[in-house]
Amino acid sequence: MIYDDALQNSNRIIDVGIITIVPSEVEALFGAFSITREKYEPAGSPLQYWRTSYQSSSSGRPLSVVVCILGGEAGNIEAAIATTQFLQDWYPRLMCLVGIAAGIKNKIKIGDVVMPNKVHDRSIKVYKNGNFAVRGRTYSRNDTIDRMLKVSPLSHKEFLTTLLQTSKEDIRRAKVVAKSKRLIPTGFDTKPHVMDGSIASDNVLIRDSAYFQSILSATDEKCRGAEMEAAGFVLACQKEKFDFPWVIFRGIADFGDSSKDDAFQLLAAKSACAALRIFIQLSLSIDALPPNPRAILASTTLDASLIGELRNAFAGRRWKEVCRIGAAISRTLWLSGHITLRYEIGSMVESSAAYVNNISLRARTLIDDLGWTAIKLEKKELGWKHIQDGIRLGTECGDHYVEAKGYRHLASLSRQSGDYNSAATYLAKAKETATVITDSEERIEIKSSLQVSEAKLHIARGDYSEAIPLLTSAKDAFHRSGDIEREVKVYGQLAYCQEKLGDILAAEQLYLGGRELARDSGRYDEFVNSTRNLLDMLIKEKPDQRIKLIQEVYDFAMSRGLWDEARKWQNEFNLFHMSNKSNKETTI
């Protein structure tokens, strides 16, 4: 759908993109920005991403940040490919490269960070008279970034405070090693600094500090060191737009000689990440940078502009317009998986509804767009509060549908936490409230949904026979009303009950039926749930059938462009190994 594509493009518009390379850099970056490795961002791309938000006082708002790990071998070609792919998948205003580098003695110390305003590209060479000669190019940083740093230079005090919060032990270990290698005081300091200057970039892993002699004669006096990715990173940024804003932070891990030590690598990586964090927090004015060209293009489509129009209406205090647009797109945002965006827009709708005294809309927004969405965002206490506020307003304005729905949500939360008595109490309140709903369609919908909720409570208590008639009635009602989104979920619950009661054949048919309905309606999540349940139930003596089910999930994910899901499924089940093994067994 054009609308869904437009929303996906809108969701790609971010403030800051960050690329990093080696394991020590990844560990440091995830720690600096409190990123959980397991919670990566599905982006329909061969690369893996992690999305987070970080408060920037200099920008006056939280900034949306996406992190990418290059993985594999380091190098300018790899960095250029990864950066190009990143700029295809996301639309940032600023790109950042963070990691470690080799430093030049007497120009910088181990643990210090260089934030170069120039990158000397030494990766292009000419072979002449039996030797390779460097044909160098120099890339300069965006003028706007330079002006920001003149107005708000990185504070050494803030940098050191941030670094010491996570790296006291790393500094202590590095000091011991530095002392043994006689690097103190000229090559190591327990109070690292962030330094400006330039950096050289080449496809060379430096094992001899003599390499730097040629750099110093060919670059500038403020060249601090060398690494292997910056030139490819900057070139990819400039191919996107000539003056595309970029920043680089390189922690010095060695001098390209025998003083190399793993104890220095982690400290250098943490120093670079601390400097990046302070830059974003205190120096970066993100709105002073021009919008990403692709972001401008994405926001010009008619449907994507609904999001922009809503934000503009909110900024312009056109409250009724915010309510109208927000109410229209809420369910689409939910079904398309734009959970964070739904919560953001729900906040604006609820505030706008308060200004125009639309109590019913406030109640509905608090219960669904804010309450249940907050639950899905793993903010349970906040979600619970939103739902309770929504019930209170629903009662106040006589919107019994909203009131019943709120009680149903509270019943679900209580059941999930193991408080079955409270769940039953909330369900009883929901059923009592549903009897006075005047709109027939709303009454039928909430009645069927409450049957599912009641059945889930029976299942939690082990009363599977009691759950089956409730689920069957709800499934039939959803089917009659054409509500496939809710119908497909009931199949799995019914199958689970039959499986627990020992009717494996009936359970298998229900899982397969739900699976087909999920595929027809494009519900990958329900397709996966049904498949997992089938795999758990099928005996190991049916390898061909198991492989077929697994392969179908992989194919479904690939056909929908769900690269991350396909890769996860393939790795979990060692798909290609299983397939090859099955083929060999068949041949034999």
pLDDT greater than 90 at residue 454:
yes
Residue 490's pLDDT band, with cuts at 50, 70 and 90, is very high
What crossing angle do the helices spanning 524-537 and 504-520 adopt, rounded to 10°?
A: 160
pLDDT greater than 70 at residue 82:
yes
pLDDT greater than 60 at residue 532:
yes
User: Residue with structure tokens 């940083």?
Assistant: 141
For residues 67 and 39, give the distance between their C-alpha atoms in angstroms, rounded to a whole number.
Answer: 12
Identify the burial level of 461 via C-beta atoms within 10 angstroms of its C-beta, where 0-12 means exposed, 13-18 middle and 19 or more buried. Answer: middle
Closest CA to 306 of 399, 314, 429: 314
Identify the burial level of 145 via C-beta atoms within 10 angstroms of its C-beta, where 0-12 means exposed, 13-18 middle and 19 or more buried. Answer: buried
CB 79 within 8 A of CB 70: yes
Identify the burial level of 289 via C-beta atoms within 10 angstroms of its C-beta, where 0-12 means exposed, 13-18 middle and 19 or more buried. Answer: buried
**In the chain, domain spans:** 2-295
Query: 246: helix, coil or strand?
Result: strand
Backbone angles phi, psi at 378, to 5 degrees: 65, 35
For residues 96 and 284, give the distance between their C-alpha atoms in angstroms, rounded to a whole number.
Answer: 12
CB 93 within 8 A of CB 290: yes
E-state strands within 90-243: 94-103, 113-114, 118-121, 125-128, 131-134, 137-140, 194-195, 198-201, 223-227
403 CB-near residues (< 8 Å, 6+ apart): 363, 391, 394, 395, 433
Question: pLDDT tens digits, residue range 102-131?
Answer: 999 999 999 999 999 999 998 887 777 877
* Residue scoring higher pLDDT (221 or 73): 221
Share of the chain above pLDDT 70, in %: 90
Please tell me the predicted confidence (pLDDT) of residue 302.
37
Residue 19's pLDDT band, with cuts at 50, 70 and 90, is very high
CB 295 within 8 A of CB 251: no
Please tell me the predicted confidence (pLDDT) of residue 8.
54
User: Residue with structure tokens 């679900």?
Assistant: 412
Amino acid residing at 103 = G
194 CB-near residues (< 8 Å, 6+ apart): 112, 113, 114, 115, 154, 156, 159, 275
Please tell me the predicted confidence (pLDDT) of residue 206.
75
Its CATH class, for the domain covering 2-295, is alpha beta
Please tell me the predicted confidence (pLDDT) of residue 529.
86
